[in-house]
Amino acid sequence: MQGFGVHTSMWTMNWDRAGAEKAIAAAVDYKMDFIEIALLDAPSVDAGHTRGLLEKHGLRAVCSLGLPEPAWASQRPEAAIAHLETAMEKTAEMGALALTGVTYGGIGERTGVSPTKAELDNVARVLGAAARRAKSLGIELGIEPVNRYETHLINTGWQAVEMIERVGADNIFIHLDTYHMNIEEKGAANGILDARDHLKYIHLSESDRGTPGCGTCDWDEIFATLAAIGFKGGLAMESFINMPQELAFGLSVWRPVAKDETEVMGNGLPFLRNKARQYKLI
C-alpha cells in the first residue's frame, strides 16, 4: 500500500465493468501508484474483469466500505461477519491488498449515546473473525476512525488503537483520514502520533471534502508528522465533487464541494504531491 493513490469516487461510485474501466484508465493517466475501490455492492463486482485491468496497467488497489444497516457490527455481528467475508473474498479475487474503511460499523450509525460495552464487544468479535478470514485470504484489514456525525463507535486514532490491541490480530491496521481528524483530533499531529504503531494508510481529504489546499487542514503539520514517524504506507487522495443520494445522508454532503474533476485533479492532486515530495514521503 505504498505510494500515492486516489479514491475512485472521483470517477464512479458504481464498480461495474464500465465504472472500473473509466476509473482505472483515469488513474493510470494521472500516474497513480494505486486506487481505492469502494465496494458498495461487493456481490455484483466482476472481480476477474477488475483484476485483469489492474494487472494490464500495473496498478495496485485496496478496497473500502462501510457496513449497511442490516449488517452493523455493533447490533448484528453475524450479519457483519458475513458481509465482510463476501467483501474480503472479492478484494482477494481482484488482487487488491486490503479491505479498509468503516469495517466496524455503518456510515451514519449513531444511537445518540456513547457506545455501550455490548456494542464494543460485538465490534471486537466481528473484527477478530474478519481478521482471521483476511489472513486466510492473504490480505490485510483496516479500520478508519470517522467523525462523531458519522458514527458513535470509533472517532479518533487512540480509539482505533484500543480496538486493535483488544482484538490482538497482527493483520489489522489503522487508516486515518485528515477530514475526520480535522474534526476529532487535538491537532492532526497528535492523531498521527497516537496511531503510529498501527498506521499504514491515510486519506488526504480537505476540511470540506473538496479540493486539497483550499480548506483549513494544516497540511504542513500532517506531512511533517508523517515524515517524523517514518510513514511508509499508502497516501490516498479522497476528494468529492458531489455525492449520490444513497451516500449523501451518511456523509452529510448536501452540496457540491468542488467545481469539477479538473479543479480537484488539476489543482488538488499536484498540491498534495508537492507536499509529499517536500517532506520526502514520495
Active site residues: 144, 238
Q: Report the alpha-carbon distance of residue 111 to residue 204 in Å, rounded.
A: 28
Beta-sheet strands, E only, within the chain: 3-7, 34-38, 60-66, 98-102, 140-143, 172-177, 199-204, 234-237
Q: Report the alpha-carbon distance of residue 115 to residue 155 in Å, rounded.
A: 11
The half-sphere exposure of 259 on its side-chain side, counting CA atoms within 13 A, is 8
- Helices 188-195 and 157-167, interaxial angle, to 10°? 10
Please give the backbone phi and psi of residue 219, each rounded to the nearest 5 degrees, phi first. -70, -30
Residue type, 170: D
Q: Report the alpha-carbon distance of residue 34 to residue 27 in Å, rounded.
A: 8
208, 177 Cβ separation under 8 angstroms: no
Q: Report the alpha-carbon distance of residue 185 to residue 190 in Å, rounded.
A: 7
Bridge partners of 163, per DSSP, are none
SS3 call for 57: helix
